[in-house]
Amino acid sequence: MSDAAEPNRSDRDAPARGADVHHWYDDEAGPVVRPYAMTRGRTSAAGRHRLDLIAVVVPEPAADDPGRDQTLSPEHVEIVERCFEQPQSIAELAAGLDLPVGVVRVLVGDLVDEELVHVTRPVPPAQLPDVSILREVINGLRAL
Amino acid sequence: MAFGRSSRKKPPVEPVTLKILVAGGFGVGKTTLVGAVSEIRPLRTEEVLTEAGRPVDDLHGVEAKTTTTVAMDFGRITLREDLVLYLFGTPGQDRFWFLWDELAQGALGAVVLADTRRLEDSFAAIDYFERRGIPFTVAVNCFEGARSYPTETVRAALDLDPEVELVLCDARDRESVKSVLVAVVEHALVLADRSHEPVAT
């Protein structure tokens, strides 16, 4: 900020002119809209354990119902839209919406509360998948 | 008309989803490996860590930063309409180990991708999967121009258990990566079979 060392008082009141405009933020400041603003500051959905990255979000028929969900944000609506096209995992939604995983978890949690979607539970934690599924995976990989 | 949809007859298919982790040092080719078999260009998810995040988020050395972004690359393989396999490249930095715990939960297995020029980069991943009993296979990515070693030499250098498979691969080659993944799942199958068998008396 060498040019600010000797502030020119008259310039300060002058109307902003093109390149002279100094932004009060720069890249170091991070995103201008903090990601968790979309969740109104919530970093976790209440009363539910964390959704796995590969948990699949499936829309409920009720989500098709017109006249519902006036309180949903555009991000909520987009999640439901995307899942209507094809049910998607939390990870895919985060990548597709370009939102942090944590934000998507909260938004999906809202939709679950509203009974607009449900979420598949993948393999129970700390448990290996069923042997028959493993065989199917091997066959599937070989057939690719 | 919130979602602008008319009635839909067919209920969506709910696939069973599985994941395999791809671990290894920085620049060893994790994303390349994922991309070689994924039906989608590897996608990136980001987790923003803040000071309000987990207490184990060690920001030592980067105290000036209040947020850190951790990226994980992943790909998808649809084996059947109702069976989908995801591949997750684990974050390379040790600082983000706690994210591995979440990634590792429910994973059917892991690939530890190794580069013979920097074998020490794979120690941490091998140690991690051994401790948690997660089935894993070590895949040595054969970089052009890197000296090749006999697999026994690499095994010894990594101090692998005899039952852990070590394979050579080319992370860019689809067939090569497929065989690595098959090796991982076969290993998982052996372990699963064993845990279901009654203990011999």
Write out chain A residues lying below 8 Å of B191, CB-based: 128
pLDDT band at B23 (very low <50, low <70, confident <90, very high): very high
Q: Which of the two residues, A32 and A75, has the higher pLDDT score? A: A75
Within a domain: B153: yes
Mean pLDDT along residues A34-61: 77
Whether residue A22 lies within 8 A of chain B, CB to CB, comes out as no
Residue B53 lies in a domain: no
Contact yes or no for A67 and B67 at CB 8 A? no
Structural domain includes residue B200: no
Model pLDDT for residues B133-154, shown as the tens digit of each residue = 899 999 999 987 777 889 999 9
Chain B: residue nearest A125 by CA?
Answer: B106
Instruction: CATH number of the domain at B173, please.
Output: 3.40.50.300
Residue B187 lies in a domain: yes
Assess if residue B150 is contained within a domain.
Answer: yes
Average pLDDT, chain A: 76
Domain-embedded: residue B58: no
A110 class by beta-carbon count within 10 Å (0-12 exposed, 13-18 middle, 19+ buried): buried
Predicted local confidence at residue A34, as pLDDT? 67
Read off φ and ψ for residue B48, nearest 5 degrees: -95, 120
Q: Report the number of distinct structural domains present in chain B.
A: 1
Confidence class of residue B94 from pLDDT cuts 50, 70 and 90? low
Q: What pTM did the predictor assign?
A: 0.78
Distance from A51 to chain B by nearest Cα, in Å?
A: 10
**pLDDT number for residue B181:** 98
The answer to whether residue B61 sits within a structural domain is no
Between B162 and A9, whose confidence is greater?
B162
Of B11, B76, B185, the CB nearest to A138: B185
Neighboring chain A residues of B71 at a CB cutoff of 8 Å: none
The model's confidence at residue B45, banded by pLDDT at 50, 70 and 90, is confident
Decide if B85 and A68 are in contact by the 8 Å CB cutoff: no
User: Would you say residue A6 has pLDDT above 80?
Assistant: no
Sorting pLDDT into bands at 50, 70 and 90, what band is A4? very low
Query: Is the pLDDT reported for residue B197 higher than 80?
Result: no
**Complex ipTM value:** 0.82
Q: Buried b vs exposed e over B124-133: b needs ≥16 C-beta within 10 Å?
A: bbbebbeeee
Residue B3 has its nearest CB partner, among A35, A77, A96, at: A77
Interface probe with B: pick from A128, A132, A133, most Cβ of B within 10 Å: A128
User: Minimal CA–CA distance to B122: which of B10, A66, B130?
Assistant: B130
Tell me whether residues A66 and B1 touch, CB distance under 8 A: yes
Note whether A53 contacts B: Cβ–Cβ < 8 A: yes
Write out the residue range of the structural domain in which residue B186 sits. Answer: 16-44+72-194
Does a structural domain hold residue B67?
no
Q: Is the confidence at residue A26, as pLDDT, over 70?
A: no
pLDDT at residue A44 greater than cutoff 90: no
B127 or A22, higher pLDDT: B127
Nearest to B80 among A55, A129, A140 (CB): A140
Q: Which pLDDT tens digit goes with each residue over B173-193?
A: 999 999 999 999 999 999 888
Indicate the pLDDT class of residue B92, thresholds 50, 70 and 90. Answer: low
Say which residue, A47 or B105, is predicted with more confidence.
Answer: B105
Give me B178's structure tokens. 């497929």
Out of B44, B45, B85, the one facing A137 most closely (by C-beta) is: B85
Signed CA dihedral, A124, A129, A132, A135: sign only: positive
Verify whether the Cβ–Cβ distance A53 to B102 is below 8 Å: yes
Give the tens place of pLDDT for each residue, A109-130. 999 998 899 998 765 555 667 8
